[in-house]
């Protein structure tokens, strides 16, 4: 993809500006992993990949309207990494009562 590639991370800001699309993809994927990891400054943040000021890919983090939704994040970690069936049911109940 030709153009100016930018990677923007929620509270971190612009973390990458270059014309190399392959490097942009690596940086985007790295920050998406960090956003989902539960560790670091980019935890829970949105990650946006833009080419010439057009959004081409976007990851939505766990932060909504400035509020960290910890119970939902913790349940998501369990659903994604550990016990899908039992935790999915717990998450459904949590969301119903939210």
- Residue 59 main-chain phi, psi, to 5 deg: -115, 130
Cα distances (Å, whole numbers) of residue 77 to 36, 74, 83: 8, 5, 10
pLDDT for the residue 50: 95
Cβ atoms of residues 75 and 87 within 8 Å: yes
pLDDT tens string 40-62: 888 888 999 999 999 999 998 87
- Spatial strand order in the sheet of 47-51: 13-18, 5-9, 47-51, 54-59
- Token duo for residue 45: 């943040």
Strand pairing partners for 48?
8, 58
63 vs 60: CA distance, rounded Å: 8
pLDDT tens string 65-82: 455 544 455 544 544 444
């Amino acid at each position: 993809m030709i153009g100016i590639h930018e990677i923007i991370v929620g509270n971190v800001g612009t973390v990458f500006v270059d014309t190399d699309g392959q490097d942009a993809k690596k940086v985007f994927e790295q920050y998406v992993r960090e956003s989902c990891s539960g560790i670091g400054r980019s935890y829970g943040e949105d990650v946006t990949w833009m080419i010439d000021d057009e959004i081409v890919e976007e990851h939505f983090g766990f932060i909504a309207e400035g509020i960290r939704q910890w119970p939902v994040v913790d349940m998501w970690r369990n659903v994604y990494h550990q016990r899908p069936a039992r935790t999915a049911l717990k998450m459904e109940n949590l969301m119903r009562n939210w």
